[in-house]
């Protein structure tokens, strides 16, 4: 909370500085749509030097750059189609109350209640990531343009007209010279920006690993949920002691009480569940998930498990080994942390329902079976961490640096994907057009294909936003 205050003060000071800068330099500003462009000659000599000196290396990298462009275009189209499918097949009650196109604006995880999915996103993170992403992206366009003899007319900074604190860099090339180049040369220049973003993503991934390994230590076990079983609704015989004959979903719900654990008997076994938990399963076809009547849920165990009877627990293996030391019916004192406070729970161990061992009744998420590409990307970025381990920072500043590097990495990756969308105002738009021009040799056919793709993507965006808007009704 203290840093948020500093962050907001920095935001105000930065906005004032940019406003004063734009006012004093207004003669050098050019309006272009919703942007103010401030043109300079800064960096042109460096661009010329690199573009001319390393021509052979850049020619070789052009093939990798174009290949990367195609991979990113295929990836972003797959992500969009998958998002539309998931969004349209998800019940209205389960739609996340955040726009489908996640706005990368400061504080958005808090604004949309997504703190469990994303780390805090401060303005400081936003502006630093934006400057790095835009500068690397645009200068790479410039370097490859010079490699193929396209003149760089100016460099500079772009400011959002209605919120000048949102800033980025640009490199202005000679468009007439660009259009005279071969399809290969144009596509190399167009894909150079996203290629550079991918390289920076890899670099910051390595930095992220370094920061994590030196600044965090394993200090507990995170469990995803309480242990549960899937049972048939027809097999439920009683709820809170009341017998149910020929049960259906509504009969079971009617017997349940609000805001408490309800005891449910099904197929001769005892389970527990809250009414809200069961209501979320209305769409299930005759089956529901019920929590096992186990020590963890009955004690209300929450947070990462740090100790059992004063013995430190740092991973799942240590947790299993420690539990094996106790017998059924023994009491244990478990210390947990929520990240903000330390909690203690006293509970009695019970026998595991399937094996001859004691258990708490907690479950862990199997992330390897998630086939969504977004989940695979997230798992790849977090591959150096054990998802079931709670890592304690060695100091508060460790968290700040780690989250900053994480956001720079993620924004670089998102910009790389987004820029290869086949839309006219993005690099992917002309890249898509040149691809079809190379295949068909027909300018008219390529323009038609590009137009169809543009309207199709805009239609998908409209469908997503419509479903999101309906979720509020």
DSSP track, 125-192: HHHHHHHHHHHHHHHHHHHHHHHTT--EEEEEEEEETT-TTSEEEEEEE-HHHHHHS-HHHHHHHHHH
Whether 126 and 105 have beta carbons less than 8 Å apart is answered as yes
- Give the residue, 84 or 148, on which the prediction is more confident: 148
How far CA 278 is from CA of 233, 255, 288, in Å, comes to 11, 12, 7
**How high is the mean pLDDT of the chain?**
86
Q: What is the mean pLDDT of residues 244-257?
A: 84
Q: What is the mean pLDDT of residues 314-335?
A: 92
User: Would you say the C-alpha torsion 304, 305, 311, 315 has a positive or negative sign?
Assistant: negative
Per-residue model confidence (pLDDT) at position 2: 67
pLDDT above 90 covers what percent of the chain? 47
Cα(first)–Cα(last) distance of the chain, in Å?
33
CA 154/CA 95 separation, integer angstroms: 45
Q: What is the mean pLDDT of residues 7-21?
A: 85
Q: What is the mean pLDDT of residues 50-75?
A: 95
For CATH 2.30.42.10, the residue range(s) in the chain are 298-363
User: Would you say the C-alpha torsion 467, 82, 205, 306 has a positive or negative sign?
Assistant: positive
Residues forming beta bridges with residue 312, ordered by sequence position:
307
Report phi then psi at 275, rounded to 5.
Answer: -65, -40
pLDDT at 102 over 60: no
Per-residue model confidence (pLDDT) at position 67: 97
Collapsing DSSP to helix, strand or coil, 45 comes out as helix
Q: Indicate the pLDDT class of residue 267, thresholds 50, 70 and 90.
A: confident
Q: What is the mean pLDDT of residues 114-126?
A: 81
Contacts of 349 (CB under 8 A, 6+ apart): 295, 323, 326, 327, 328, 329, 330, 331, 332, 358, 359, 360
Q: What is the mean pLDDT of residues 79-103?
A: 68
Lowest mean pLDDT among 93-107, 289-303, 358-372: 93-107
CA angle 38, 40, 42 (to 5 degrees): 135
Helices (H), 247-395: 249-255, 275-279, 295-299, 316-323, 373-381
Quickly name the fold that domain 298-363 has. Answer: Pdz3 Domain (2.30.42)
Residues forming beta bridges with residue 311, ordered by sequence position:
308
Most confident of 180-194, 378-392, 423-437: 180-194
Q: Residue 255 CB: number of other CB atoms within 10 A? A: 18
pLDDT at 403 over 80: yes
pLDDT in tens, 363-396: 887 766 655 555 666 677 778 888 899 999 988 8
pLDDT in tens, 125-173: 988 898 899 899 999 999 999 999 999 998 888 887 767 666 778 888 9
pLDDT at 451 over 70: yes
pLDDT at 63 over 80: yes
264 torsion bin: left (phi>0), alpha (psi -120 to 50), beta (else):
beta
Per-residue model confidence (pLDDT) at position 193: 95
Contacts of 471 (CB under 8 A, 6+ apart): 92, 95, 97
Per-residue model confidence (pLDDT) at position 368: 61
CA 3/CA 330 separation, integer angstroms: 45
pLDDT in tens, 23-47: 888 887 888 777 788 888 888 999 9
pLDDT at 273 over 80: yes
pLDDT at 98 over 70: no
Whether 154 and 41 have beta carbons less than 8 Å apart is answered as yes
Per-residue model confidence (pLDDT) at position 378: 67
Whether 199 and 68 have beta carbons less than 8 Å apart is answered as no
Lowest mean pLDDT among 20-34, 154-168, 199-213, 443-457: 154-168
Count CA within 13 A, CB hemisphere, residue 450. 23
Most confident of 29-43, 71-85, 97-111: 71-85
Per-residue model confidence (pLDDT) at position 296: 94
pLDDT at 71 over 90: yes
Per-residue model confidence (pLDDT) at position 109: 74
pLDDT at 16 over 80: yes
Per-residue model confidence (pLDDT) at position 460: 87
CA 256/CA 232 separation, integer angstroms: 17
Report phi then psi at 335, rounded to 5.
Answer: -105, 130
């Amino acid at each position: 909370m203290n840093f948020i205050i500093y962050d907001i003060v920095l935001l105000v000071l930065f906005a004032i500085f940019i406003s004063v800068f734009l006012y004093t330099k207004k003669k050098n500003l050019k309006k272009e749509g919703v942007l103010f462009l401030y043109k300079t000659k800064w960096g042109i000599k460096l661009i010329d030097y690199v573009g001319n000196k390393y021509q052979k290396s850049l020619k070789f990298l052009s093939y990798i750059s174009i290949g990367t462009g195609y991979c990113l275009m295929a990836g972003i189209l797959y992500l969009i189609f998958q998002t539309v499918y998931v969004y349209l097949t998800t019940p209205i009650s389960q739609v996340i109350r955040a726009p489908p196109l996640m706005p990368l604006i400061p504080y958005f995880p808090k604004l949309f209640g997504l703190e469990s999915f994303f780390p805090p996103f401060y303005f400081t993170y936003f502006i630093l990531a934006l400057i790095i992403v835009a500068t690397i992206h645009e200068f790479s366009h410039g370097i490859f343009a010079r490699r193929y003899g396209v003149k760089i007319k100016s460099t500079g900074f772009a400011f959002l007209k209605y919120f000048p604190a949102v800033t980025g860099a640009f490199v202005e090339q000679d468009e007439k010279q660009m259009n005279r180049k071969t399809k290969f040369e144009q596509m190399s220049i167009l894909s150079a920006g996203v290629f550079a973003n991918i390289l920076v993503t890899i670099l910051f991934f390595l930095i992220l690993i370094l920061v994590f390994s030196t600044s965090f230590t394993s200090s507990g076990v995170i469990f995803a949920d309480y242990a549960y079983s899937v049972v048939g609704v027809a097999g439920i015989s009683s709820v809170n002691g009341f017998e149910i004959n020929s049960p259906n979903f509504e009969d079971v719900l009617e017997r349940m009480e609000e805001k408490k654990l309800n005891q449910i008997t099904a197929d001769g076994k005892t389970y527990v569940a809250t009414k809200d938990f069961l209501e979320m399963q209305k769409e299930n076809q005759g089956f529901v998930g019920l929590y096992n009547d186990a020590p963890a849920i009955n004690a209300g165990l929450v947070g990462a498990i740090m100790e059992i009877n004063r013995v430190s627990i740092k991973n799942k293996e240590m947790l299993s080994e420690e539990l094996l030391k106790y017998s059924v019916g023994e009491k244990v004192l478990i210390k947990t942390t929520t990240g903000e406070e330390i909690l203690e729970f006293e509970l009695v161990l019970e026998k595991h329902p399937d094996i001859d061992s004691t258990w708490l009744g907690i479950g862990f998420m199997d992330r390897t079976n998630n086939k969504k590409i977004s989940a695979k990307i997230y798992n790849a970025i977090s591959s150096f961490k054990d998802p079931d381990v709670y890592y304690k920072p060695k100091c508060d500043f460790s968290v700040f640096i780690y989250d900053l590097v994480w956001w720079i990495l993620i924004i670089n990756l998102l910009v790389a994907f987004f820029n290869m969308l086949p839309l006219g105002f993005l690099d992917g738009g002309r890249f898509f057009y040149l691809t079809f021009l190379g295949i068909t040799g027909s300018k008219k056919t390529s323009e038609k294909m590009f137009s169809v793709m543009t309207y199709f993507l805009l239609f998908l965006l409209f469908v997503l936003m419509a479903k999101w808007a309906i979720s509020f009704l």
